[in-house]
Structure 1
Amino acid sequence: MNQQVTDLVKGCSICAAVQPSQQREPLLPHEIPKTPWTKVGMDFFEFRGRHYLIMTDYSTNWFEVSDMSRITTHALIDQCRFQFGWHGVPLTVVVDSGTQFRSAEFTRFAREWNFEVVVSSPHYHQSNGKAENGVKTVKRMLQKCYLDTKDPMLAILEWRNTPSEQTGFSPAQRMFAHRCRMPLPVSQELLLPEVDREGRAYDKHQQARKIQAAYYNLATKPLPPLTTGNQVALQVPGSTSWVPGTVVHSLPHRAYEVESGGWRYKRNWRHLCPTLVPPATPPASRRPSCLRPRRLSFDTCSMGEAIDQHHCSGELVASPQTKSVPQYLPPPTPPLRRSSRKSKPPEGYTAC
């Protein structure tokens, strides 16, 4: 009886569409390398109308912030060339699903410079948590410097020289094996190189990560893996609504490729839920309305053809199926001004 009730609820489309968000799984931390600048996380962020690019080292917590006048792929590649020429080429670069990181130009650049690009699941910022944490730290410092009218680079320099409570070493010491000189007076002995060949900072960092994972896993529960062909509900980004879908492929790091409405999406297990509701089959040219991207896609049509625009969840999407021709009305006649009136002399003064 209980199993029948469970199957009935799983097969209810209304119940599947309004179910709560998926629970947290045990922490799956990134592997931390022992050498600096081997694994780097990248992300764009905005502060007071200006765009920035942050690169955070997974091993030392050292980050580089670049003011970006443009956030195009070419600007990203130019900044990567500059930073990699200064610190070296990392083995792995962890990024989100931004179009700049998934472009063909950036993929070609990664192949030429011989580093691996790991793309996190869309709408799952926790997967690129190192870069997200760096963004939060930099934004807080920029806001404080803006309110106090101080130089933000001095604040970043002080942060780089501040020892961590977990390891006892600062990001500068772990990155360059010495402290960075600051405007304040400092003893020259403190600026001497001190190479940590025993890996004391690395061991303390790993121990702190284990403690963090243990506390995080107290309120988590492992979820059973999904297989190809499983019927699932796909959570709509930014809401608690769900749409039916089907698992197509299993990807690394608890990610899956799901097909819904004729379109395929990469989602983390956190945004999926097993269900018995069969997926709907809308026309192939129509993407599910609540999963459409925020852009206009124009079909190859003549200038006289109108494009039906639908507004769904704050997204403007063009439909290439509308073929109606709009009825254009003639422009209204403007009022006649005194200077444009036709001059008509009196009849009494006309020549006979």
Structure 2
Amino acid sequence: MVMSFVSNGWPKSLKDPLDTKESSKTTKDPKGQNSLCVCVGCQHALASAPSIPKEVVLFSHQRSFLSIVSSVLMFKERVVIPASNQKSVLQLLHQGHPGICRMKQLARSYCYWPQMESQIEDMVKKCSPCALSANLPTKHQLHSWPQSTKPWQRIHLDFAGPINSKSFLIVVDSYSKYPEVFPMQSTSADAVISKLKSLFVRHGLPETLVSDNGTQFSSNVFRQFCKSNGVEQLFSPAYHPQSNGQAERFVATFKNALFKLKEGRNLLEAIELFLLSYRTTPCSSAPNGVSPAEAFLGRKLRAKLDLLLPSSHEQSVRNGQMEQQFNRRNGAKNRQFHSGDSVLCHLVVSRQWVKGTIINCRGVVYAVQMPSGRIRDFHVNHLRRSSFPDEDELPADILLECFNLPSVESQVAAALPQEQRWNGIEEQSPVRSPDQLSVAESPPLSPVAQSPVQMPVITSPLPPLRRSSRKRAPRTMLQLDGKKCYKKEQPYQ
């Protein structure tokens, strides 16, 4: 058999042969001679040996597989390598830097010596190029986060995006899995602090804040913000997102949801729809398997699916004590209006009263039709009943004049004798001011509108107006404050 190696060092070339003379060194080696004795059964040779080496003992267990071919000790079809050449053979087997398993398979095809496989394992483990290019080791046993016992105890932060040139700040509660998403124009520490301030105002300060090693989270400004608010800040190891898995898992869910909801909606509408659906859907990771909103807020969020359930008519309970106190203090009275009533509406902005008509009523709120035709809602405290005549109704004299008909007074006067006609006019004609003259008594608008019978009008000078010049002082009324306590004075004795 031919072996391609030298006894010392790496082989100079693959053409350096080791013929059967070199391979027969095994039979000349003391250990090889003992092995040969085991092979041929020379018990007297073993007995004369001063001590039996360990290799010989191992060979004795495999004596049925040992043989001598051309003065070379063979183990089955493999050459038994002497101890002086084992290191060179190992280097030759590892010249392509195979792994432990492949190197063992290669060695089993050509050579054999006791404890060969253990030496192969040691050589591969100590090989520097193999160690520097090795894969990751077997994963360490999982060390999970301690379970939170209440909402908002520990929150996880991370960034998602950019999505459509926008980044999103993700905040997830570890107890309820309740998420918050903030669109961010900037990912700086100041921008993150601004969003967290508004978040802490709504939900309070958490005990622990977990994030990655991003510059916005590891900056001195953000560290000081957490320290000033009594929030413990923890960081996940670099390039190990599993340590912040709560936020990382939601980021993946968030991106997939936006990809599914992007058709027919803008980005903000898709985010709002996703958050409502995610918060109201039962979560197996939440306590008792409830929805994140119920675990975080302590109540269920009302969604469109709640419209499928039968409505429960619960009788509302009013605060009677507060109503009695208000009515007694302000002297309030019950005022009601009906549909079609003419009212005056108080416009708070312009501080004017405008006429309107009641359309319908909803409790103490009335729908009023304004003169422009617009319908507005007014509280009953901003309405009062109108006593003015309706301006839309025209007088009968104007209607008769439009149709070229004589007035009622003209028709009555024409039916009386002439003497009674003039006497009746003088006795019955009252003295009226010019403002009280009807349209029929004013000069005719056109010759066509003239009535066939003209009635004389007797006027008299208006009496002078007499108004008091007395200065009127406003009355001083007793006004008691319900928040103050008044002592009852003892009568004078």
**What TM-score do you get using the length of structure 1 for normalisation?**
0.51
Following superposition, the deviation at residue 5 of structure 1 comes to: 4.2
Aligned residue for 2:145? 30
User: How many residue pairs align between the two structures?
Assistant: 189
- The whole-number CA distance in structure 1 between the counterparts of 2:235 and 2:281 is 31
Aligned pairs for 1:158-177 within 5 A: 158-165=277-284, 167-177=288-298
Aligned pairs for 1:124-273 within 5 A: 124-149=240-265, 151-152=269-270, 153-165=272-284, 167-186=288-307
Aligned residue for 1:292? none
Identity %: 31
- The whole-number CA distance in structure 2 between the counterparts of 1:180 and 1:116 is 31
- The whole-number CA distance in structure 2 between the counterparts of 1:65 and 1:138 is 9
Following superposition, the deviation at residue 4 of structure 1 comes to: 5.0
Residues 56 and 130 in structure 1, CA contact (< 8 A), matched pair in contact too: yes
Matched, 1:68 2:184: yes
Structure 1 SS opposite 2:180? strand
Following superposition, the deviation at residue 182 of structure 1 comes to: 2.4
Matched, 1:57 2:178: no
Deviations 1:261-301, CA, capped at 9 Å, x for gaps: xxxxxxxxxxxxxxxxxxxxxxxxxxxxxxxxxxxxxxxxx
Following superposition, the deviation at residue 149 of structure 1 comes to: 2.2
Deviations 1:106-130, CA, capped at 9 Å, x for gaps: 1100100101111011110100000
Query: Match for 1:164: what amino acid?
Result: C
Structure 1 SS opposite 2:233? strand
Structure 1 SS opposite 2:168? strand
Following superposition, the deviation at residue 148 of structure 1 comes to: 4.3
Q: 2:133 aligns with which of 18, 22, 32?
A: 18
Bigger Cα displacement from structure 2, 134-143 vs 148-157: 148-157
Q: Which structure has the highest strand share of the two?
A: 1
Q: 1:104 aligns with which of 220, 227, 232?
A: 220
- The whole-number CA distance in structure 2 between the counterparts of 1:57 and 1:148 is 31
Aligned residue for 1:86? 202
Structure 2 SS opposite 1:26? coil
Deviations 1:227-257, CA, capped at 9 Å, x for gaps: xxxxxxxxxxxxxxxxxxxxxxxxxxxxxxx
Query: Match for 1:162: what amino acid?
Result: T
Deviations 1:34-76, CA, capped at 9 Å, x for gaps: 1101100000110232101000010000010000000001001
Following superposition, the deviation at residue 10 of structure 1 comes to: 3.1
Q: Which structure has the highest helix share of the two?
A: 2
Residues 141 and 156 in structure 1, CA contact (< 8 A), matched pair in contact too: no
Bigger Cα displacement from structure 2, 59-68 vs 29-38: 29-38
Following superposition, the deviation at residue 185 of structure 1 comes to: 4.7
Following superposition, the deviation at residue 163 of structure 1 comes to: 1.1
Which structure 1 segments of 5+ residues have no match?
A: 190-352
Displacement over 6 Å in runs of 4+: none
Deviations 1:105-164, CA, capped at 9 Å, x for gaps: 011001001011110111101000000011111111211221342622022101110112
- The whole-number CA distance in structure 1 between the counterparts of 2:165 and 2:131 is 40
Query: CA 1:145/1:109 → structure 2, altered by over 3 Å: closer, same or farther?
Result: same
- The whole-number CA distance in structure 2 between the counterparts of 1:65 and 1:23 is 36
Query: CA 1:148/1:17 → structure 2, altered by over 3 Å: closer, same or farther?
Result: farther
Query: Match for 1:77: what amino acid?
Result: I
- The whole-number CA distance in structure 2 between the counterparts of 1:146 and 1:116 is 37
Matched, 1:121 2:237: yes
By relative contact order (CA 8 Å, sep 6+), the higher-ranking structure is 1
Structure 2 SS opposite 1:180? coil
Aligned residue for 2:403? none
Following superposition, the deviation at residue 13 of structure 1 comes to: 1.9
Which structure 2 segments of 5+ residues have no match?
A: 1-114, 313-493
Aligned residue for 2:11? none
Structure 2 SS opposite 1:134? helix
RMSD: 1.9
